[in-house]
Structure 1
Amino acid sequence: MSPLDHYRQMYEYEKECDQKMLAMIESVPNVHRGDARFQQAVTLAGHLAACRENWLDYMDRDGLQQAPWWDSACDLATLPSRYAALQAGWTDYLARLDDDRLASDFQFPIDGGVFYRLKTEIQVVQLIGHASYHRGQIALLVDQLGGETVDTDYADWAVSASA
């Protein structure tokens, strides 16, 4: 399997994990949704969405459609449509990505108008790895709030996907 095919497959796994993550948050009983930990879980899910939206904007568009990286007032009701849109965008981007572009740099602004360069492949790998970290945090919060946690381990997904 080529590296690009591997990244495309890994993103299919990520899309399923996104749905499981949103379902975990939705499973928190209403009685616990006023708890600050609930909003923290929603904020983390919103952060993942923003990261994916923003990096795709930098890598595939003009970089001018940036969402706030952290939104402490993120509304759970907005997340399913955001995830659907960003998943469609990333799936399309990865389908169009070729080996030359994967190995090339893209640039994005940092503080003070300075631009930073990063290999496209580094950010594609980050797309996958970054989410696992925050999904673990969300699962812990959901568990503490009495919601239903779901296994998002890659090995389980890979075995079920190949069966």
Structure 2
Amino acid sequence: MSRIFIDQAIRWLQYEQDAHAKTLASLRAVPAEKQEEPEFKKAIRIMAHLAVARHKWMVRFGRALDLHTTFFPDDWTLETLSAELAASHQLWESYLGSLEEDAELEGYFEYVSSDAGPCRSMIGDSVTQLFGHSWYHRGQVAMLVKMVGGEPAATDFVYWSREIIA
């Protein structure tokens, strides 16, 4: 029984939890007057999209109720965002922890995509999408935070995973 990919996905999920916390901290550190600027609001909207998409995969896997009506919520606060990311993380942690062997990730599931209609995907491909999607959007958020004068979070995987030798 092989769990190489599952264990890697669990490790990446731990990294993602830390990276999202750092990203949220960088958003909170933006001065209040700058939080009214369109770039800041766009950063919140992008992170909200990230949280909704992570939840939507759990809905598609049959592991969560469909709670969101849009992929890009306009009305989320930092508190809402923090709570939604934490809830999504718990769902993914539980799901990945329930898998016993990598072969389970080779299975297919069917769902309805918002942009393509009925689809069929391999479970492992959707797990891979989870992480790539987050990396992509966190980069956008970092750019927007910098545009409003904030300090973008350092969320590169290597910063999280490396060991400094003294």
- TM-score exceeds 0.5: yes
> Which residue number corresponds to residue 25 of structure 1?
27
Structure 2 match to 1:49 = 51
Q: 1:143 aligns with which of 142, 146, 152?
A: 146
Q: In structure 1, what residue type is equivalent to 2:121? A: L
Instruction: Specify whether residues 6 and 111 from structure 1 end up closer, same or farther in structure 2 by C-alpha distance, changes over 3 A only.
Output: closer
Please give the alpha-carbon distance, in whole angstroms, between the structure 1 residues aligned to 2:143 and 2:121.
Answer: 32
What is the distance in 2 between the residues matched to 1:56 and 1:111?
A: 15
Task: Give every structure 1 segment of 4 or more consecutive aligned residues whose post-TM-superposition deviation is greater than 3 Å.
Answer: 110-114
- Give TM-score scaled by structure 2 length: 0.88
Give the 3-state SS of the residue equivalent to 1:33 in structure 2: helix
Distance 1:18 1:112, change over 3 A: closer
Q: Name the residue aligned to 1:2.
A: 4
What RMSD over aligned residues (CA atoms) do the two structures have, in Å? 2.3
Q: Does the CA-based 8 Å contact 1:39-1:73 persist in structure 2? A: no
Whether 1:35 and 2:20 are equivalent positions in the alignment is no
CA distance in 2, matches of 1:31, 1:111: 36
Stretch of structure 1 that moved more, 117-126 or 77-86: 77-86
Superposed CA deviations along residues 51-98 of structure 1, whole A, max 9, x for unmatched, are 001111111337x51522111232222111111111111101000123
Q: Point out the structure with the larger helix share.
A: 1
Shift of 1:100: 3.2
When the two structures are aligned, how many residues end up with a matched partner?
Answer: 161
Mapped to 1, the partners of 2:39 and 2:127 lie a distance apart of 30
Question: How far 1:160 sits from its partner (Å)?
Answer: 4.3
AA paired with 1:107?
E
